[in-house]
Amino acid sequence: MKTIKNIIEESLRELKSIDCEYEIQKRNQNRKENQEQESRLIFPKTRGTKETGLIRISEQEARFLFVRELEINKNNHSFYYSIETPTDNIYRFSENGKKIEPKIGEGQSASIDVTLYSKENNGFCRKHLIEFKQGNINTYKKDFLKLLFDIDGLHNFYINIIKREDLSKGKTLESIKNKYQNAINDLKKIKRKDNSILTIILFNITDGDLRISDNIDLKNNKTKIELCKLQHIKNAKTK
């Protein structure tokens, strides 16, 4: 049986290899051996010529390919899924300058990109909440809040896709790591008896650098962001 991490890795492997509008990628060992299972999804280019236009990479491609992997591998797991799932709780995100103050129990329902369920008796039970985000953005706290506190006792995933020449050079990795850590540190202040466990996956689509910070658990004070290298998905560079 495949785990959720296995399916996430397979979907990111496919994401690394799909074509773009003005260039066909060189196929390699990362593509599916069964060509009938290769995705026909491509990255569009932004407005401009081949020389000036850029590839538009968003979290939507990652989400689509993850769901596709769920369907392809449905004989190797037992999950059902929903898209843009309304949260159980309601939330309010007030902004004071650049500081986001999230509140639980006030405001309105939010949504989760993909929710996985187990089939139990005559219904379905939520098991994993998954959020996809593209870029080095400043909404980590909002997403972590939903994933940690919306339902107690789950194991949820935050998948962040970025595009950098080399994640290990310069201050990019440290900057992202600090943003994650600051968001988690702020959420530790929320007084809740229970929470879900969170795994953060960071994927650099340019060089295939895949990193993970696993099993973040506020209740048991496991809150340090590690971003350990999980593997390196090799492929021709995305321009």
pLDDT at residue number 23: 67
- So what's the pLDDT on residue 232? 67
For the segment 90-144, what is each residue's pLDDT rounded down to a tens digit?
887 766 544 555 667 778 889 999 999 999 988 999 999 999 999 877 788 899 9
223 or 1, higher pLDDT: 223
Average pLDDT of the segment spanning 67-71:
94
Q: Reading across the β-sheet that carries 99-104, which strands appear in turn?
A: 99-104, 80-96, 108-120, 123-134, 155-162, 197-204, 209-216, 228-232
Q: Cα 52 to chain center, whole Å?
A: 29
Comparing 26-30, 140-144, 170-174, 188-192, which segment has the lowest mean pLDDT?
Answer: 26-30
User: Which range has highest mean pLDDT (23-27, 164-168, 191-195)?
Assistant: 191-195
Confidence (pLDDT) at 233 = 67
Q: What pTM was computed for the model? A: 0.85
Tokens of 116: 């996985």
Segment 195-234, tens digit of pLDDT: 999 999 999 988 889 999 999 999 999 999 999 988 666 5
Q: Are strands 155-162 and 197-204 parallel, antiparallel or unpaired?
A: parallel
Q: pLDDT by residue (tens digit) across 10-45? A: 999 888 887 777 666 554 444 455 444 577 877 777
Q: Say what the pLDDT of residue 101 is.
A: 58
Give the per-residue pLDDT at 97.
Answer: 43
**Dihedrals phi, psi of 171, to nearest 5 degrees:** -110, 10
Please give the residue that has the higher pLDDT: either 30 or 66.
Answer: 66
CA-nearest of 192, 194, 107, 117 to 142 is 107
Q: Phi then psi for 148, rounded to 5 degrees?
A: -85, -35
Q: Indicate if the pLDDT at residue 149 is higher than 50.
A: yes
Q: Which residue has the higher pLDDT, 105 or 48?
A: 105
pLDDT at 6: 93
